[in-house]
A = this chain, B = another copy of it.
Amino acid sequence: MPAPTPNPPGPINTETRRARATIEDVASAADVSVATVSRALRGLPNVAESTRVKVQRVAVALNYRADPAASRLATGRSRSIAVAVPLLNGWYFSHVVAGIEAVCAEAGYDTIVIGLGSERSCVELLDGSDALHRRADGLIVVDVALPADDLRSLDDRGLALVAVGPVLDGVPSIGIDDVAVGRLATSHLIDLGHRRIGLVRGEVANPFGFVVPQLRQRGFEHAHRSHGLRPDPTLYVDGSFTVHGAYEAAERLLERDDPPTAIFALSDEMAFGVVHAARDRGVRIPDDLSVIGVDDHDVAAVLGLSTVHQDVDQHGAGAARTMIAILGGQEISPGRHDDPIRLVVRSSTAAPRR
């Protein structure tokens, strides 16, 4: 158990308060009761239009804003939503977060981010740790495969759940068909004539399975089989979902006596690493090696990287909208929205030379 770090003592409260008007200030200034102020300001019925106007005017004059903590305490709702992502600085994740934040801000919700980089953070997330405990009304998990009972425990705590990425049982989710992604990229390579295809997968240090890699890999294998081919597992390497990790992984592949003629990297960032490694060893792309990634990262076009496009900001925005609808009391079925994907062929893929 982490050391209890109490709030430092001291009457921060009183210093701060000076400037802030409370609901009572507004009430007395407007010559009504606090209840009326509350109703008027929140647009509730049973307030005479004239009173509402008067109260609003006073509130503006006093620059009054309800204290969210007090409000949360009274209503049980915090008007903020949490986003849990494996790493905050990945291209994919930062775009999802950006999409979420934009929608949340628009709707008056705060966005609190939780990086799941360390094991500790993952465990805490579910333990009902500080980050979630009564601080957020809902949780958006991005590419996190929560086990069923953790799902339930979160639910028991009254947290609304929405997922971005793979399907999560009983949770509304938005993402792409990752198996199809794997199939699409791989078929492209096979159609070009490639028969020995390397796969740069990625593990993330994350106790919850990060299932995207598996799904895309499954698609990779499907594609082989449906063309009557058998994938070669000795051509599978781990790129950790980073440029650098993939660089090293690709080195291992290219060092072989029988290197693959094409490499499928499960993300564009990893594909960048592959391209780099190839270049450093004088392996020409696409002449000696075809490379394809996934994401359609802004830099993919610069490198001429073939890839599978997905509209990442939209995933985040869609998830946030769903969350807000749920929090707004709408019945949302825990369904799946598969966003379309499409193959983008650039100059990094071509028929094998030999």
Contact = CB atoms under 8 A, between A and B. Distances in A.
Contacts of A48: none
Contact of A113 (B11, B18, B111): B111
A301 interface: yes
Interface in A231-275: 242-244, 269, 272-273, 275
Q: How many monomers of this chain does the complex have? A: 2
A229 interface: no
Interface in A270-285: 272-273, 275-276, 279
A211 interface: no
B302 A273 contact: yes
B134 A20 contact: yes
A31 interface: no
A77 B243 contact: no
Contacts of A121: 105
A44 to B, nearest CB: 6
A49 interface: no
Nearest to A93: B94
Interface residues of A, number: 91
A131 B20 CA distance: 15
A1 to B, nearest CB: 7
Given A42-B6, A89-B97, A110 B112 contact: yes
Contacts of A112: 80, 110-113
A71 to B, nearest CB: 7
A187 to B, nearest CB: 26
Nearest to A41: B4
A35 interface: no
Interface in A102-140: 102, 105, 107-108, 110-115, 117, 121, 128-131, 133-135
21 contacts: A1-B60, A4-B41, A5-B43, A6-B42, A6-B43, A7-B79, A8-B328, A16-B76, A65-B133, A65-B134, A67-B133, A68-B130, A68-B134, A68-B135, A69-B134, A89-B313, A90-B94, A101-B115, A110-B131, A111-B113, A244-B298
Interface of A: 1-8, 10-20, 41-44, 56, 60, 63, 65, 67-73, 75-80, 87-91, 93-95, 97-98, 101-102, 105, 107-108, 110-115, 117, 121, 128-131, 133-135, 156-158, 242-244, 269, 272-273, 275-276, 279, 298-299, 301-303, 313, 327-329
